[in-house]
Amino acid sequence: MPTIYDVAKKAGVSSMTVSRVINGKRDVKPETREKVLKAIEEIGYVPNSLARSFVLQKTKTIGLVITDITNPFFTTLARGVEDTAMKNQFSVIFCNTDEDPEKELLYLEVLARKRIDGVILASASGKRAPLKSLLIKNIPTVLIDREIEGLDDLDVVKGDSVQGAYLLTKHLISLGHRRIGIIVGNRNISTAEDRVEGYKRALAESGIPEDESLVKFSQYSREGGYNSTKELLSLKNRPTAIFGGNNFIAIGALVAIREFELKVPDDIALVSFDDIESLSQVYPFLTVVTQPAYSMGVIAAELLIRRIEGRDKIEERRKVILQPELIVRESAGEKLAEGVRGEGR
């Protein structure tokens, strides 16, 4: 591989001049520039960003650490991150943790070694945050989708899970449901806690007593949804509605419901946090709350890049909370409110 010196020799100039041409510095005589460009062309020189990053101490690369790129929510989010990164000449390294804190730590370590300029992290570590000590302190980081308790100085971009869950639950209540099961992810993931909180708030507001047997902290996965739904459906006093804590959970729930030979919404209502897009485009029946995943990615990337480039005057932490949207379709049923105090909306 030719180096900047090969180009320099060929063009009869010094390496610095070549460097200046490559980086588009203005103080190069046009004719010299031409010579250099020609030499680059002829030799087939490709600048070595590795060397460049090494001396400049910046890599123009960010890490995106999520739980599973296979989840459409994260896919869309990732696309937002990538588009924005690209627009700013950043590359993105992506990492799937599968909700495994160990794996997350490993990835973070690798990224730190690679001296990436920043990280966007949807952490699987919940409150424990063993990463705290590691690198997060030194590497610009923005948390996305999920907060981490005890890391209060990091930027955050997330959806309003409490509000989303509140809306969804409220909607169910307005349709007459009083026994509502909810299935969310692992207990120390902030979205799981928040969604349950929103759910409980809605219940409380309508004077419906909490029933812990209806609240399942499970996994944000199809299995999680499937298993927990089976448990809920096996209750002697079965719920009339199920709140799927994310899209995967809703899919699992749907499968379990089918196994029980129940019909949605006639036999049981089902709603979901996060849409299942390919489903809704084709067969829009699931009532959901959606989050602007793409925007979330874009905003997080912009925030991060601004931090990296030091364009942000403000040192203090940013917290962006995006509002979810309730999309009423038919999976929650249309039954009229019966004996509900709710203001149904």
What residue ranges bind its own copies (CB under 8 A)? 1, 46-51, 53-54, 59, 61, 68-70, 72, 75-76, 78-79, 82-83, 86, 89, 91-96, 109-115, 135, 138, 222, 247, 251, 254-255, 276-279, 281-283
Of 283, 225, 220, nearest to 250 by C-alpha is: 225
Token pair 């609240």: residue: 215
Quick one: 7 or 183, whose CB is closer to DNA?
A: 7
Q: What 3-state class would DSSP assign to 42?
A: helix
250 Cα distance to chain centroid: 18
- DSSP, res 312: -
Residues 52-81 that bind DNA (CB under 7 A): 52, 54-57
Closest approach of Cβ 308 to its own copies, in Å? 16
Kindly tell me the sign of the dihedral angle through the C-alpha atoms of 160, 161, 163, 164: positive
The yes or no reply on residue 283 touching DNA (CB under 7 A) is no
Q: In whole angstroms, what is the distance from residue 145 CA to residue 123 CA?
A: 8
When binding is defined by CB under 7 A, the residue of 13, 173, 189, 289 that contacts DNA is: 13
Quick one: 87 or 115, whose CB is closer to DNA?
A: 115
| Residue 149 backbone zone (phi > 0: left; psi -120 to 50: alpha; other: beta) | beta
CB-based contact 198:162 (threshold 8 Å): yes
Partners of 141 in the β-ladder: 119
Question: Which one of its own copies, DNA, none is in contact with 216 (Cβ closer than 5 to 8 A by kind)?
Answer: none
Task: Kindly give, in sequence order, each residue whose CB lies less than 8 Å from that of residue 33, ignoring residues fewer than 6 positions away.
Answer: 21
Question: Which one of DNA, its own copies, none is in contact with 15 (Cβ closer than 5 to 8 A by kind)?
Answer: DNA
Return the range that interacts with DNA (CB under 7 A); candidates 45-53, 218-226, 302-310, 320-328: 45-53
Return the range that interacts with DNA (CB under 7 A); candidates 43-51, 99-107, 217-225, 297-305: 43-51
Quick one: 20 or 171, whose CB is closer to DNA?
A: 20
Question: Which one of DNA, its own copies, none is in contact with 94 (Cβ closer than 5 to 8 A by kind)?
Answer: its own copies
Q: In whole angstroms, what is the distance from residue 172 CA to residue 247 CA?
A: 17
DSSP string across 167-203: HHHHHHHHTT---EEEEES-TTSHHHHHHHHHHHHHH
Q: What 3-state class would DSSP assign to 62?
A: strand
Return the range that interacts with DNA (CB under 7 A); candidates 12-20, 168-176, 191-199, 282-290: 12-20
Return the range that interacts with DNA (CB under 7 A); candidates 5-13, 124-132, 218-226, 270-278: 5-13
Q: In whole angstroms, what is the distance from residue 244 CA to residue 288 CA?
A: 9
When binding is defined by CB under 7 A, the residue of 34, 38, 42, 48 that contacts DNA is: 48
Return the range that interacts with DNA (CB under 7 A); candidates 28-36, 62-70, 95-103, 186-194: 28-36
Closest approach of Cβ 51 to its own copies, in Å? 6
Closest approach of Cβ 286 to its own copies, in Å? 8
Total length of the chain: 345
Closest approach of Cβ 62 to its own copies, in Å? 10
Quick one: 20 or 170, whose CB is closer to its own copies?
A: 20
Q: How many CB atoms lie within 10 A of CB 281?
A: 9
Axis crossing angle, helix 161-174 with helix 190-205, rounded to the nearest 10? 40
The yes or no reply on residue 129 touching DNA (CB under 7 A) is no
Q: Which residues bind DNA (CB under 7 A)?
A: 1, 3-5, 12-17, 19-20, 22-23, 26-29, 31-33, 47-48, 51-52, 54-57
